[in-house]
Amino acid sequence: MGGTKIFVLQMKEIIRTVIFTLIGLVLIIAIVYFLLPKGVGNSNESTLYTPGTYTSQIVLQDNTPIDVRVTVSGDEILELNIAELSDEQTLLYPLLKPTFEELSQEIVGSQTLNVSVGNDDSITKQVLLQAIKTAVNKAIETGTL
């Protein structure tokens, strides 16, 4: 005759088994998370800029164009350059180069075009900032929107 079998489980054993199972699952999830490449799962995110170098021009009062170049990667502004100024242009526009260098440091450092314009060089800064914005907008327009 087959009798009924009764198993007696103690609550300590059940709790211990559940805890070890949960710890094992957490460890497996952590290992998988840290071993996956960081780009996985971000495939639907689009970039802000099309990588490259974009230019815009400033026309000085003597009708001389000066190129402003902006180099961007997919999601950040890497570098800002201004064309080499001749000695005559440096004498006629002494604030042009230092103001551009200041703007360049601010924009690349903060990654924003929202830069404050001071009183002492506001016209120069506004003209340069507008040229930089034009070049950055070219990078945005050719990017994926």
- How does pLDDT run across 66-119, given as a tens digit for each residue? 999 999 988 889 999 998 888 888 888 888 888 889 889 989 988 888 877 766
Q: Distance between CA 122 and CA 138 in Å, rounded? A: 24
Please check the confidence at residue 42 and state whether its pLDDT lies above 80.
no
Contacts of 62 (CB under 8 A, 6+ apart): 92
- Please provide the average confidence, as pLDDT, over all residues in the chain: 83
Comparison of pLDDT for 5 and 72, the residue scoring more: 72
At the topology level, CATH places domain 52-141 in Sufe protein. Chain: A (3.90.1010)
The pLDDT value given to residue 16: 92
Q: Distance between CA 4 and CA 134 in Å, rounded? A: 85
Please check the confidence at residue 143 and state whether its pLDDT lies above 70.
no
Q: What is the mean pLDDT of residues 28-47?
A: 71
Three-state helix/strand/coil letters over 67-92: EEEEEECCCCEEEEEECCCCHHHHHH
- Kindly list the domain boundaries of the chain, sorted by start residue: 52-141
The pLDDT value given to residue 25: 96
Please check the confidence at residue 134 and state whether its pLDDT lies above 80.
yes
Q: What is the mean pLDDT of residues 139-145?
A: 66
